Each structure stands twice: as structure tokens, then as C-alpha cells.
């Protein structure tokens, strides 16, 4: 189908200084957990987006010097010749598809601890960043930068910019956001200087201006220079000659960079989860930028609707539609819009599992896109799967996230698929979870897959079809896949911090009970040691029903693991709005129908809380009864011609929805192949005998690389190096 005329504006080319982006789809810099230690994984991950139509593809944070060392968190480097070679894999991969490649050069300033380099962190005035959790290693505090330090950082930026140009990048960034060094110069809380770099907004902007100017001098006239800047805090500060200091900053730098990349100040607001923030949430902060500069502006807002994208362009908010999370969820989002296939977009659900990957220090993962990070490791393409030479009749029992993904991928491979679920609707756990406060967008996992399955003639869907062992054997498929999910238990949590023993009382409930329509008596108490979203959001849900409810956890915060998904402060605010009392660091010891006995996790001191019912959000265990029965009837399976029974998703190992989708996809890719039990390929760093070779040698290397023949995702061979 042709592109909808309403969306053609999204495919107009836009100049960024001396270079031209082929369209308005701009994959902004974002963390991927793929450092220079995983150069082929990183290159293939970015290449998928270029192939899918994103006009600009950027790296994540790329350190300019060992004084910006974020280990053990994953970060890239642009320090030496090895780094040039590693990044060249990515630029070549992106250029193969006609996209521009951008690099986010970065100095973390006081936000890094330099654990590996053991150099003093740098800061405009020696003020630590987020001192509550940065600065633990002996309470090392940053050094106040003198003029020599400022000159040194400028020199490192210029050196890294030249290396970036040699590696083939078309756009080079100066980063002044998210608490990093340039940002620290902009805010008076961090910048107490009395010299030409402190005081007035004109002086506080000076360091950033010099970083842009020296970068432009370094890269020459054929490379664009972008400024990435956080505006949220400055937008809230009145200016002397403009409505805010954010306005004054943009006015002062209006003609200096080739592009403004504008964002928020902290992760919970910059990439807020859909549970708390809708599409386009940045607009109230960044809507003024284009009125003060003629340079192109890119911003984000978890854009998934092409109508919203077009609105941003036509109303003069943005020139480029920035995408980080949406580009991970669907690398082919631009191509699908251009080809009139909007219904096939895998829309980002805003769960922020991708962000948790960086906090975990691993390659990015995505709930919607199980191929993210697996393009090189497993050879998975986000849109293509290999057709099978030997189609099989495969029965999948369970239509939740794992079963739906498995059915879709098996169907695309050419198998005959029967997907059965005992419920009236498909969706599994999401049938209930999508109804909880803020989680409606999560049902995109179900909607996308059902939409595609309903188009496939080789897939049959059977709702309201409970199947036992007898029915399965009677159907006699070639293979059975069990996606029967998991159940919440009423087990307690011990002082050894493990689930132990059941709490047997008629007024003890689990999330499954509430999903089934049973509500607790009030006042109720939610005891949460699952520590992800369910305990907090279920408490919100009960409070919204008018049930007096309190929340208790042995962790240090409510829904403690949501710090990994940038939701933690927002969870606490949501509970406070509902007037929910939150008790941390306490175990549940007993419940008698009128009182719950709690004990402090460390001191053992007991306290009693009045409540008439208790909801335990803790251990989940697989629903394994059907698998056990089928295992015991191996002879009957063999007689029916059933060659195997597999489990996927929560039926195999309970986890987040992202794990379930990945599990279903992986099995579907591997059924009937000889890679079923093989592990993924391990990437290795690119290492020269002499790493720090001079720029002339680097340039010769870069030119020689252009002659190397590569296919799509051909970054696969280690032997080249």
C-alpha cells in the first residue's frame, strides 16, 4: 500500500548543517547495554533500525576520556584506535541503508565515580551529583575544575570528535543534560563559580558553547554538530529577558550547533513509563525551542502514532521525530508508515524494560520486540524468520504473551498452528493487568499479535477451549507447546529473605483472587515481596475501589525493583495521592483476621496493624499440572504421534512479560532446526596490537574498511579482525 498522504511530511529530507537526513525519523542517542566490548552486537542492533527506515541512528553515551568512567555500568568509549575500529562497524552498517550515523560524545562530570580509571571525578564546583547513591566507594567527592581541567576536557572533546569523524560518524554530539558535566555548568546548584564560567546564565552557558565550537573545529565542514540539552529545570527558572532560563539558553546558542536535541533532566521524567505519562509528554517543556532558533530540533515523547508525529511537525514543535523506546520496539516503524502498514507497527508499551537492561549492565531487551539485542547473537531479524522445510501441526495451550508470540512466529515460519485458551479472550495475565491503573497500554502486546494472527490462514484460534491430556492426545498434533502461565502463591517471606511456608486463612488473597473478581475486606493490607510493579499497582487499584488499604514490604521502598524502570519515585507519589500508608523493611509474621503482626527485617521488633484481609504479592510458581500429566502419559503421546511437549513463558519460569515473549519467540524460531540447543554467539572486543595508533594510521584503516564486502548483519565474522 502507498503511504497515507497525511504522513508524507514525515519522509521529507532535513538538513543538519552540512549533512542531510533522508527523513524526519531520528533515533536519538540511547543506552543499549552494548559497549565497545560487544561491537558486532551493537552494530547489528543499530543496523536493524537503519534498514527499517530511521533516517538518523545514534550511539548511546560515548566517553571522551578515562576521567568519564561509568564502570561497571555499560558505556562506550572513544579513547583510542581500538574504539575507532569498533565504532566503524556501526557506521558502516548504518550507511549501508542510507542513514546518517551520530555519536553522543559524553563526559559524566560528577555523576561518574571513575571506579576503573581511579581518576578524580570532575565538577564545576566540587558538588557531587545525586549524593544519596553516588559517591559510596570511600565517599570520593569530585574535584573542582580549574582552568587547566576545563582546557583538558575541551581538548579531549576535540580529540574524541576527530576520532569519531575517522570512524565514519556524520553527526557528533555535545552532551549537556541528565546531570552530566555540561549540565552541571548550566545549573547554579552545581556551579558556584565566580569566574567567567559561573554566575549569570551567559557565563554558565560558556563551557557548553566552547564545547560546541571546539567540536565544530575538530570535525571540519562535512560533519554536523548537535547539542543535547536538558531543559526541564531551566524552564522552571524565570529569566531576566526571557520567560525562563531555558529560553535564554536557546537564545544564546541559537546559531551555534547544527541541531538541538532537547530533553528532560532526569530519567523518571525524560523516559517516563506509560503507567504514569502519555505520548508527547515533553511538549510543555520544549515547545518554545523552534521559536528561538532556525536550526532543526529533535525531541522525544514515546511517539508511536503517526498522527501525533505529524501534529508535532505541523504545529512547529519539532523538526525530527525522536525515538528511543519506539525504535527498539519496532525498528521498522518508519518503513511501515511509508508503506501504509500502520496496523503492523509493534507499538512501544512504555514498560521501560529496555531501560532496566542498562541498569543491569546487559544488552537491551524489549517486551514487544524479542529480537532486540539478538540480531547478531542469534541471527534474529525483527521482521523476517526462516520458513521451515518441514511444516508441522503444532498445538499451543495458553494464549497469553508467550503463547501468542510463539503462535505468531510459528505461523510465519509456515507451520500449521492451533492456539487454544480456556478463557473467552486471549491475553493471559494481561487480561487482568491491563485493567490496573496506568497499564492499559500494555495490552498492545496482545493487540499486535492477535491482529497479525487473524490475518494468517495457517493459524487457528480456539478461545473457551480448556484442554486436558485426553483432548490433547485425541487431537494428535505433531508437537505440543504449553504456555499455561503461573499462579501467585500465599507463601510468606522469611528472615533469610526467601519464600517459606503458607499463610492459611480464608481472608488471605493473592493477585489471582482479585483478578477473579474477589475483593478484600477493608481495611486491607498488601504485603509485597515481589518488588516489581504488581504490589504497588494492585494497592492503587484497591484504593481506587474505596477500600482502605496499607502497603508493607521487606524492601527499602515500595515496588523497589521499579528503580530499574525509572518508576520508583512515581510509584511513591501515586500511593501518596491515594493516601496509602507505606511501611518498609518489615516482614509479615502472622494474621488472625483482625490484626497483622509485622516484624522489622533487621531488629525483629514487632508491631501490630489492624486489618480484616491480607493480599500477598510474592512468589509465583508455574502451572505445571498439565505438563506433569502429559509427562506421565509418554506412551499415549507416542501412540498419537506427538513428538514432543515443550513449555514456554511463565509455565517454564515465571518472570516479566518480556521474558515470556522472548521465550515463546525463541522456541518458535528453533523448533525443527539444528540450533535448538545451541547457545548464542559471544562477541569479542576489537583489539589491535598497538591500540593507541595515530590519526593518520586510523584514517588509513578507515579508508581500507570501505572496501570490505559485507552483507546485511554481516558483522557476524570475527575472522575479519
Active-site annotation, residues: 180
Give the span between the Cα atoms of 5 and 11, in whole angstroms.
Answer: 11
Pairing of β 479-482 and β 393-397: parallel
Q: Which residues of 129-143 are buried (b: 16+ CB within 10 A; e: fewer)?
A: beeeebbeeeebbbe
Give the span between the Cα atoms of 397 and 555, in whole angstroms.
Answer: 36
How far is residue 695 CA from its own chain's centroid? Answer: 35
From the list 550, 560, 621, 622, the residue with the least C-alpha distance to 585 is 560
Q: Is the distance from CB of 40 to CB of 373 less than 8 angstroms?
A: no
Burial of 307 (0-12, 13-18, 19+ CB in 10 A): exposed
Torsion of CA 90, 96, 102, 103, to 10 degrees: 10
**Is 120 strand, coil or helix?**
coil
Name the region of 13 (left: φ>0; alpha: ψ -120 to 50; beta: rest): beta
**Is 157 strand, coil or helix?**
helix
In 67-207, beta strands by DSSP E: 76-77, 100-106, 122-123, 143-144, 171-176
Does residue 431 have a cis peptide bond before it, meaning omega lies within 30 degrees of 0? no
**Is 670 strand, coil or helix?**
helix
What nine digits make up the cell of 22? 533522508
Q: Is the distance from CB of 92 to CB of 48 less than 8 angstroms?
A: no
Give the span between the Cα atoms of 168 and 646, in whole angstroms.
Answer: 46
Q: Is the distance from CB of 296 to CB of 320 less than 8 angstroms?
A: yes
Give the span between the Cα atoms of 703 and 687, in whole angstroms.
Answer: 18
Contacts of 372 (CB under 8 A, 6+ apart): 45, 328, 354, 364, 365, 366, 382
Q: Is the distance from CB of 367 to CB of 665 less than 8 angstroms?
A: no
Helix axes 401-413, 657-670, angle to 10 degrees: 30
Does residue 536 have a cis peptide bond before it, meaning omega lies within 30 degrees of 0? no
Give the span between the Cα atoms of 382 and 708, in whole angstroms.
Answer: 25
What nine digits make up the cell of 200? 549569570
Name the region of 178 (left: φ>0; alpha: ψ -120 to 50; beta: rest): left
Residue 469 DSSP code: H
How far is residue 276 CA from its own chain's centroid? Answer: 16
Q: Is the distance from CB of 355 to CB of 335 less than 8 angstroms?
A: no
In 453-531, beta strands by DSSP E: 459-462, 479-482, 486-488, 491-493, 499-502, 508-509, 524-528
Pairing of β 508-509 and β 613-617: parallel
Give the span between the Cα atoms of 133 and 115, in whole angstroms.
Answer: 14
From the list 5, 68, 48, 55, the residue with the least C-alpha distance to 28 is 55
DSSP 28-61: -----S--TTSHHHHHHHHHHHHHTT-SEEEEEE
Amino acid at each position: 500500500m502507498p503511504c497515507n498522504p497525511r504522513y508524507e511530511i514525515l519522509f521529507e529530507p532535513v538538513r543538519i548543517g552540512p549533512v542531510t537526513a533522508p527523513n524526519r525519523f531520528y533515533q536519538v542517542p540511547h543506552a543499549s547495554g552494548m559497549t565497545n566490548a560487544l561491537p558486532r552486537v551493537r552494530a547489528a542492533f543499530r543496523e536493524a533500525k537503519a534498514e527499517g527506515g530511521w533516517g538518523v541512528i545514534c550511539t548511546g553515551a560515548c566517553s571522551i576520556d578515562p576521567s568519564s568512567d561509568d564502570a561497571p555500568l555499560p558505556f562506550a568509549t572513544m579513547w583510542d584506535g581500538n574504539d575507532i575500529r569498533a565504532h566503524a562497524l556501526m557506521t558502516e552498517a548504518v550507511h549501508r541503508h542510507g542513514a546518517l550515523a551520530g555519536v553522543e560524545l559524553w563526559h559524566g562530570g560528577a555523576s561518574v565515580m571513575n571506579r576503573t580509571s581511579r581518576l578524580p571525578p570532575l565538577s564545576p564546583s566540587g558538588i557531587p551529583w545525586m549524593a544519596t547513591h553516588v559517591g559510596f566507594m570511600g565517599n570520593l567527592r569530585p574535584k573542582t575544575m580549574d582552568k587547566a581541567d576545563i582546557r583538558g576536557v575541551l581538548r579531549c572533546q576535540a580529540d574524541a570528535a576527530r576520532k569519531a569523524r575517522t570512524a565514519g560518524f556524520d553527526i557528533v554530539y555535545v552532551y549537556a543534560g541528565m546531570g552530566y558535566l555540561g549540565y552541571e555548568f548550566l545549573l547554579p546548584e552545581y556551579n558556584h563559580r565566580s569566574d567567567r564560567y559561573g554566575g549569570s546564565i551567559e557565563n554558565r552557558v560558556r563551557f557548553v558553547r566552547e564545547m560546541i565550537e571546539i567540536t565544530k573545529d575538530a570535525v571540519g565542514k562535512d560533519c554536523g554538530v548537535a547539542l543535547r540539552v536538558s531543559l526541564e529545570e531551566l524552564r522552571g527558572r524565570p529569566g531576566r529577558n526571557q520567560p525562563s532560563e531555558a529560553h535564554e539558553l536557546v537564545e544564546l546558542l541559537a546559531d551555534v550547533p547544527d541541531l538541538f536535541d532537547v530533553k528532560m533532566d532526569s530519567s523518571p521524567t525524560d523516559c517516563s513509563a506509560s503507567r504514569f505519562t502519555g505520548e508527547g509528554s515533553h511538549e510543555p517543556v520544549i515547545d518554545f525551542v523552534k521559536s528561538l532558533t532556525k536550526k532543526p530540533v529533535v525531541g522525544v515523547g514515546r511517539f508511536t502514532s503517526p498522527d501525533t508525529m505529524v501534529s508535532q511537525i505541523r504545529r512547529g514543535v519539532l523538526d525530527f521525530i525522536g525515538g528511543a523506546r519506539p525504535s527498539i520496539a519496532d525498528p521498522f516503524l518508519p518503513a511501515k508508515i511509508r508503506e501504509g502498514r500502520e496496523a503492523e507497527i509493534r507499538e512501544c508499551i512504555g514498560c521501560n524494560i529496555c531501560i532496566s537492561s542498562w541498569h543491569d549492565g546487559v544488552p537491551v531487551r524489549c517486551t514487544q520486540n524479542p529480537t532486540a539485542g539478538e540480531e547478531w547473537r542469534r541471527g534474529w531479524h525483527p521482521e523476517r524468520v526462516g520458513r521451515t522445510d518441514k511444516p508441522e501441526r503444532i498445538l499451543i495451550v495458553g494464549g497469553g504473551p508467550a503463547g501468542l508470540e510463539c503462535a505468531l512466529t510459528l505461523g510465519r515460519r509456515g507451520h500449521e498452528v492451533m492456539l487454544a485458551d480456556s478463557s473467552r479472550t486471549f491475553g493471559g495475565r494481561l487480561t487482568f493487568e491491563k485493567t490496573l491503573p496506568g497499564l492499559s497500554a500494555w495490552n498492545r502486546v496482545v493487540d499486535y499479535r492477535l491482529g497479525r494472527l487473524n490475518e494468517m490462514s495457517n493459524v487457528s484460534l480456539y478461545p473457551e477451549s480448556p484442554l486436558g491430556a485426553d483432548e490433547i492426545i485425541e487431537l494428535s498434533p505433531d508437537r505440543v507447546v504449553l504456555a499455561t502461565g503461573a499462579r501467585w502463591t500465599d507463601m510468606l517471606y522469611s528472615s533469610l529473605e526467601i519464600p517459606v511456608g503458607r499463610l492459611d486463612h480464608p481472608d488471605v488473597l493473592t493477585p489471582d483472587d482479585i483478578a477473579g473478581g474477589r475483593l478484600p475486606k477493608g481495611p486491607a493490607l498488601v504485603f509485597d515481596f515481589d518488588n516489581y510493579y504488581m504490589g504497588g499497582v494492585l494497592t492503587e487499584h484497591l484504593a481506587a475501589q474505596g477500600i482502605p488499604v496499607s502497603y508493607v514490604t521487606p524492601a527499602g521502598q515500595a515496588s523497589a525493583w521499579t528503580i530499574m524502570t525509572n518508576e520508583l519515585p512515581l510509584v511513591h507519589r501515586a500511593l501518596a495521592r491515594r493516601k496509602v500508608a507505606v511501611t518498609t523493611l518489615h516482614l509479615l509474621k502472622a494474621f488472625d483476621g483482625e490484626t497483622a503482626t509485622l516484624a522489622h527485617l533487621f531488629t525483629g521488633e514487632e508491631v501490630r496493624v489492624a486489618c480484616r484481609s491480607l493480599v500477598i504479592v510474592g512468589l509465583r510458581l508455574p502451572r505445571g499440572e498439565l505438563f506433569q500429566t502429559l509427562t506421565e502419559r509418554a506412551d499415549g503421546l507416542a501412540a498419537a504421534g506427538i513428538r514432543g511437549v515443550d513449555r514456554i513463558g511463565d509455565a517454564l519460569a515465571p518472570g516479566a512479560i518480556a521474558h515470556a515473549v522472548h521465550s515463546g519467540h525463541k522456541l518458535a524460531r528453533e523448533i525443527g532446526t539444528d540450533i535448538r540447543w545451541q547457545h548464542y554467539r559471544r562477541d569479542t572486543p576489537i583489539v589491535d596490537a598497538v591500540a593507541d595508533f595515530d590519526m593518520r594510521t586510523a584514517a588509513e584503516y578507515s579508508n581500507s574498511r570501505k572496501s570490505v564486502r559485507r552483507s546485511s548483519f554481516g558483522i557476524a565474522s570475527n575472522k575479519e579482525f
